[in-house]
Structure 1
Amino acid sequence: MADQEFDYIVVGAGTAGCLLANRLSADPANRVLLIEAGGRDNYHWIHIPVGYLYCIDNPRTDWRFRTEPDPGLNGRSLIYPRGKTLGGCSSINGMLYIRGQARDYDGWAELTGDDAWRWENCLPDFMRHEDHHRLDAPGQADAAHRDFHGHGGEWRVEKQRLSWQVLDDFATAAVEAGIPRTEDFNRGDNEGVDYFEVNQRKGWRWNTSKAFLRGAETRGNLTLWHSSQVLGLELQQREGGEPRCTGVRVERGGEEVVARAGREVILAAGAIGSPQLLQLSGIGPADLLAEHEIPVAVDLPGVGENLQDHLQIRSVYRVSGAKTLNTMANSLVGKAKIGLEYALRRSGPMSMAPSQLCAFTRSSDDYVHPNIEYHVQPLSLEAFGQPLHDFPAITASVCNLNPTSRGTVRIRSADPRQAPAIAPNYLSTPEDRKVAADSLRVTRRIAVQPAFARYSPEEVKPGLEYQSDDDLARLAGDIGTTIFHPVGTAKMGRDDDPMAVVDSRLRVRGVRGLRVVDASVMPTITSGNTNSPTLMIAEKAAGWILVGE
C-alpha cells in the first residue's frame, strides 16, 4: 500500500473519535482519516441493550485487558473492558447518561487556568449534540429542560423502557434515609435518587458509530479504516525546535502503511490506548522509555500516570415477596417471556442497561457535595459473567466519585501488540478506604427503611458481621470491582505542572501537530459516569481544531 495524505488523522473510532470525524469532515475541504483497530459494529449483541453481557470480555468487541494484581483489592486482578469496535466503549458500556457535577468542570478550569472548562462554558458543548426526550414535545418542556438540554442533535437520550416495584421501593427507602428525589441528574448538581436516563433509541443501544458516523461515512472527504491497528506515531525532528507529528504507522490488511497528516494527528484511543501509543512513540517518562530501548523524543513524565477510576462496592440483598430478574430469568419459560416482550415492544429486561436506579449522596457529613453514586439492579450474581443467584435479590453498588488513589498505565515492551500494564492502585489512600467503609453504612441505612424493610432484606454481601472501618475497607477490597471509568492518563494542566501531558487546548506538550482528545485528558475524574463528558470534550476540541487554536 502506498503512503496516503490527509489533513487530519483521528486514531480511535470510539466515543470521542466518531464525533471528531463527523465534525472535522463536515467541511468538504478537510480530508479526514479515521482509524479503528476493531471491526465494524455489526455484531447483533452490540445493539440489544442487555448484550453488554456478551460484548464485555469478548475478543470480537473488547481488548480484554486485565489489571495488575492490586494490593488495595487484596491481590486480586480485574478484567478491564475497553471497546474494540466502531463506537468503542459506547458499543459495550452501560448506556447511562450522566454529565457529572458543575464543580468538576470548575475544578478543571482552576487546574488548567482556562475558563473554557468552566461548567457554564461546557454546558453548550453537552447540549450541541444532545437529542433529549424531554424536548420531543416542546410545549410540554419547562424552561429548566430547555436551559439544560438540547434537541435535534446526534446523541439520543431516553427514559428506560421498564420499571421494577422493588427498585421503586428502594428509591422510596432512599428518600426515607434523607436522599431527595430528583428528575434530572444533569443540571450541575446531581444529588438525588431516580432512574437513569439512557443512550438508547426505541429500545436499541445508541452508540457513537450510529450517532456520528452513519451519515458522515458517505462523505467523500472522510476515509474510515477499521480493523487497522496504529503501531506508532511518525515524528519529524526539527533542529533546535520541537518535533512535529507528521502521521502514523498502521498495520492494515497485513501490511504496514504510513498515513500522513498535513495539519494534525488526534489521539482518541482512550485512557489506555492513548498513553500506550505516546509511550511507544518515544513520548513519555524517559526512564520507562529507556527500559524498553525506545529513543526519547519528548520526556513527558506524566504520560500514563494519574490513572483514576470508579471502584464499585456491591452489596447484595436477598429479598422476599419481590419480583427480580433472578427469578424471572432462571427458567426457560421466564426467558421466553423476556425474549417475546423485547421482540414485540423493545421493552423489558432485554432493554435493560446494566443499572437501572441511580442515587447520588454523601458518604458522611464531612462532605458538602454528593461524593458517592449508586447503581442499583434487580438482580444479583457472584461476579460479572457468572450465573444469576437462584434466589430473589437486588444489588446496590456504590462508588466513590472522587477517589484520591492514583494508578498508572505503562508499556511492557516496545511491541505495540502487547497489552500495557494497568495498575489502578485502588483504595491506596486512607481517604478512599474511609469512604468505602462509610458508603457501605449508607447502603445499610437505606435497606432498613420501612419502604424496603417490607421485603425482609438479608445482606448476603458483604454480611452484617463486618462492622468496623478496617473490616469494611478490607471487604471493599475483596468485593470491589471497576465500573469501567478509567481517565486521567494524559492529563491537561498549566505550563508549570510537570505532570501535565497536554495544555488546556489538548495539544501535546513539546510536540507540534499532535493532540489527545479522550478521557485521558481529564485532570480529575468526573462525579459520575464518564462517557458523556468524553463526548463534551470532543465537541469542544473539534471547535478548537477547526479554527486552528
Structure 2
Amino acid sequence: MVAQVSDVADKTFDYVIVGGGTAGLTIAARVLENTDSSVLVLEGGAPNLDDPKILLGGGWGSTFGDTKYDWAFMTTPQKHCNDRQLLWSRGKGLGGSSAINFYAWIKPPAADVEAWEELGNPGWNWKAYTKYTLRAEGFTAASEDQLKEYAHTHNIEYRGQSGPVKTTVPVTPLQINRFFLEAAQKQGLPLLEDAYGGNTTGCWEGSANLDRKSKWTRSYAATAHYLPHKDNPKLKVLTEAIGAKVLFDDAKDGEDLVATGVEFIHGGKTYKAYANKEVVLAAGTLKSPQLLELSGIGRRDVLDKIGVPVKLELPGVGENMQDHTFIGISYELDPKVSHKTADLFRNPEFAKEQVRLQDLDKENMHRLGITAFGYAPLQLASPNGASSIVEKMTAYVEEKKQSGTLPPGLAEQWDIQLRVLKDSTLPDIEVIAFPAWLTHISQPEPGKCYLSTLCVTQHQFSRGSVHAKNSDPLEQPDIDPNTFSVPYDLDIFTENFKFARRLADTEPFKSGVVREVDPGATAKTDEEIKEYLRNGSNTCYHACASLSMLPREKNGVVDPKLKVYGTKKLRVADMSIVPLEVAAHTQATAYCVGEHMADILIGAA
C-alpha cells in the first residue's frame, strides 16, 4: 500500500512531511481532507500494518528494544543516575510512538496549556487544545454491562464524538482499579467525574485508545489517518526513508532561507524530493533537532563539531529538552482473588487461547487498559515535606537567575513552574495502577499476578539536550536528558514514591496485596529511596521542547505558526515544539499539535 522510491525521487509535491508518526499522519490526512494539495510523507521505519504486536492490547513494552518497531535510542551516561545509560524507546514505523505506546488517552490541566500562551505563543491555549483534541477523538462510553461492575463516569462535553482516533473504557482489571482508587480517595484525592475538561487533580478511570468496532484493537495514527487515505492519488507515503537534510534555495545575504525539499536515504542510496508549499518536520523530539542540525541550522559550536557549514544560527536547536521520569513499585496480589493482569500472558498456553478468543471477537485479555490514575499536588502528597522543598527550589531558581548563567527563556519557564509547585490545586506528581509486573530488581514468579504502582514526575526543572553526534543521518543523536541535574527534582520524586507507598498501606489496597516485592526492604530511608530512583528510574517517553515554540530571543526555534525562525516554507510539528512540559501522558498533545499544524497550513488558524 505504500509508495515505491520511483514514485517519489526527484518528484515535487505541495507538502513534504518528514515523519509518519502521530503528528505527521494527522497533518497529512487533514490537508488531504481540506485541500487539493499533494502530500509526501517520508517515514524512517517499515509500514508495520496489520501487525498483532501493535494492534493487540495488553502487550505493553513487548515492542521496546525491537528495532523493527523501536528506534531504541540510548542516552549518554547520566551523571545523576549513577552513570547509567537509559533506553529511550520511540516508535519506528507508520504511526510512530502511537503504535508502541501504552495507549493511555490523557489530557493535561488547563493551566499547563495556558502557560504556552503566556510564554509568547498567542492562540496556543486551553480553548485551542480542547478544539483540536475533540476533533481528533472518537469516544465510546462504557457499556451497560461495564456500568453494572463499576460506575464509569464522563462528561460528554469533554469527549470528542466523531474523531478518527478511537477511545473508550477498556475491559479493565476491576478489582485493582477499585482498591487503588478507593485508597487514593482516603489519602485525599477526590474521585473526578471526568478529568478531560482541564482539571486533573484527583483520581479517576482514564480512557484508552482501543476501537470497539474493530475487535477492540489499538486505534493509532496509522489506522486513524493513514488507512482511510491510502488510496488517495494525492498521497504518497514512502517507508524506510530516513530524512537526511532539508534542501534550501541558494541563500542571499540578510534574507531568510527558503526550504525547497528534503534529501533522504532509502535502501542505502540518497534521493531528493521537492516541496512547492512547505516542508514539515514531524520526526519527533529526538530526531527533528538532528535533522535541522544536519541541514545547517542550530548552535554554531554543535555544527562546527559535526562538520556541517552554518546556514542559520539558532542556539535553541536541541536545547531545553524536558521529560517525565517514572519508577515502579511492584506488589504481589492476593492469590485467593481471580485477578486479570497482563502477567497471565507469560503462560504460553494462556496467551495462545487469548489470541483464539480475539480472532473470534470474544472477550479476552487483549482488551485490558491502564486506566486508574491519580494526580496530586506536592502539598497533598507530602504534607510535611512540601514547604521545605518549595523553599529550596525557590532559592535554587533565584540563585541561578542572579548568577546570569541561565540560557535565555529558562527563567520565565522556571517562574511558571514555581508558581505551579506552590499552588496546592495543581498536580506535581502522578501515580498509576499498572496491571502487571513493572520493576527491575526481582523477577515475577510464574502463575502469580502483580500490581505495579508507577510513580511519575511531572514538571521537572532539569533540562536536557539532543544534538547530532556527527554528519551521518543514520547515526543516533547524542541524547542527554540530564535527569536530576536540578537536585530538588529528586526530592519531589522521593515524595511521589512515599505517597505511592501510603496508598498501598491504605485499605482496601492494603488487604488486596500479599507483599511489596520491589524495592521492598532495600528502600526504607529517604536516601535508600533516592538510590532506588537513581538506579531504576527511566523516561516515561514524554520528551518535549527540544525545538521550543518561544520568542527567538528566548532560545525559541519556531514561532506560533510553527515556522522555523529565519526560514520560509519550513515548519516543525511534533512534541519538540511544546515549550513547557504538561502533567499528562503526551499522546493527546501530539495529536493536538498535528491538528493545529494542519489548520495553519490550510489557513484555518
Q: How does 1:508-547 map to 2 (within 5 A)?
A: 508-547=564-603
Match of 1:195?
A: 205
Distance 1:123 1:382 in 2: 35
Asked if the contact 1:302–1:491 (Cα under 8 Å) also holds between the matched residues in 2, the reply is yes
Asked if the contact 1:381–1:387 (Cα under 8 Å) also holds between the matched residues in 2, the reply is no
Match of 1:217?
A: 230
Distance 1:332 1:230 in 2: 40
**AA partner of residue 489 (structure 1):** S
Structure 2 counterpart SS, 1:426: coil
Residue 100 in 1 paired to residue 113 in 2? no
Q: Which moved more, 1:58-67 or 1:144-153?
A: 144-153
Q: Which moved more, 1:258-267 or 1:342-351?
A: 342-351
Distance 1:452 1:487 in 2: 34
Match of 1:388 among 430, 444, 448: 444
Q: How does 1:279-358 map to 2 (within 5 A)?
A: 279-320=293-334, 321-324=336-339, 325=341, 328-345=344-361, 347-353=363-369, 355-358=370-373
Distance 2:129 2:513 in 1: 45
Residue 263 in 1 paired to residue 277 in 2? yes
Question: What is the CA-CA distance between 1:346 and the residue it aligns to?
Answer: 5.2
Q: How does 1:420-431 map to 2 (within 5 A)?
A: 420-431=477-488
Structure 1 counterpart SS, 2:553: coil
Q: Deviations over 1:209-254 (max 9, x none)?
A: 1101112222221121112111111022123311111110022344
Residue 88 in 1 paired to residue 96 in 2? yes
Give the direction of change, closer, same or farther, for the CA distance of 1:419–1:441 in structure 2 (3 Å limit).
Answer: same
Q: How does 1:127-276 map to 2 (within 5 A)?
A: 127-134=134-141, 145-202=155-212, 203-236=216-249, 237-276=251-290
User: TM (normalized to structure 1)?
Assistant: 0.93
Q: Deviations over 1:473-506 (max 9, x none)?
A: 2221112122111111000012431x11111111
Structure 1 counterpart SS, 2:287: helix
Asked if the contact 1:323–1:392 (Cα under 8 Å) also holds between the matched residues in 2, the reply is no
**AA partner of residue 73 (structure 1):** C
Distance 1:539 1:109 in 2: 17
Question: What is the CA-CA distance between 1:323 and the residue it aligns to?
Answer: 3.9
Distance 2:490 2:541 in 1: 19
Match of 1:466?
A: 523
Match of 1:450 among 502, 507, 517: 507
Give the direction of change, closer, same or farther, for the CA distance of 1:135–1:540 in structure 2 (3 Å limit).
Answer: farther
Distance 1:429 1:445 in 2: 26
Question: What is the CA-CA distance between 1:152 and the residue it aligns to?
Answer: 1.3
Q: Which moved more, 1:470-479 or 1:259-268?
A: 470-479
Residue 55 in 1 paired to residue 67 in 2? no
Give the direction of change, closer, same or farther, for the CA distance of 1:264–1:327 in structure 2 (3 Å limit).
Answer: closer
Taking only the aligned residue pairs, the percentage that are identical comes to 27
User: TM (normalized to structure 2)?
Assistant: 0.84
Q: Deviations over 1:324-369 (max 9, x none)?
A: 437744545544554444444454432334x342111223344521
Question: What is the CA-CA distance between 1:465 and the residue it aligns to?
Answer: 5.3
Question: What is the CA-CA distance between 1:161 and the residue it aligns to?
Answer: 1.7
The answer for unaligned runs of 5 or more in structure 2 is: 1-5, 381-385, 387-422
Q: How many residues align?
A: 542
**AA partner of residue 532 (structure 1):** A
Match of 2:383?
A: none
Q: Deviations over 1:422-457 (max 9, x none)?
A: 111112213211111101110111111121221354
Q: Which moved more, 1:35-44 or 1:503-512?
A: 35-44
Residue 6 in 1 paired to residue 13 in 2? yes
Match of 1:32?
A: 39
**AA partner of residue 296 (structure 2):** G
Question: What is the CA-CA distance between 1:374 and the residue it aligns to?
Answer: 1.7
**AA partner of residue 366 (structure 2):** M
Give the direction of change, closer, same or farther, for the CA distance of 1:97–1:346 in structure 2 (3 Å limit).
Answer: farther
Structure 1 counterpart SS, 2:432: strand
Asked if the contact 1:502–1:516 (Cα under 8 Å) also holds between the matched residues in 2, the reply is yes
Question: Runs of at least 4 residues of structure 1 off by over 6 A?
Answer: none
Give the direction of change, closer, same or farther, for the CA distance of 1:339–1:257 in structure 2 (3 Å limit).
Answer: closer
Distance 2:221 2:282 in 1: 13
Asked if the contact 1:41–1:87 (Cα under 8 Å) also holds between the matched residues in 2, the reply is no
Distance 2:206 2:364 in 1: 15
**AA partner of residue 531 (structure 1):** Q
Match of 2:475?
A: 418
Give the direction of change, closer, same or farther, for the CA distance of 1:359–1:297 in structure 2 (3 Å limit).
Answer: same
Give the direction of change, closer, same or farther, for the CA distance of 1:50–1:331 in structure 2 (3 Å limit).
Answer: closer
Match of 1:437?
A: 494
Distance 2:263 2:577 in 1: 23
Distance 1:271 1:219 in 2: 29
Distance 1:239 1:527 in 2: 43
The answer for unaligned runs of 5 or more in structure 1 is: none
Asked if the contact 1:96–1:199 (Cα under 8 Å) also holds between the matched residues in 2, the reply is yes
Distance 1:423 1:106 in 2: 28
Question: What is the CA-CA distance between 1:258 and the residue it aligns to?
Answer: 1.3
Match of 1:123?
A: 130
Distance 2:175 2:253 in 1: 69
Question: What is the CA-CA distance between 1:165 and the residue it aligns to?
Answer: 1.3
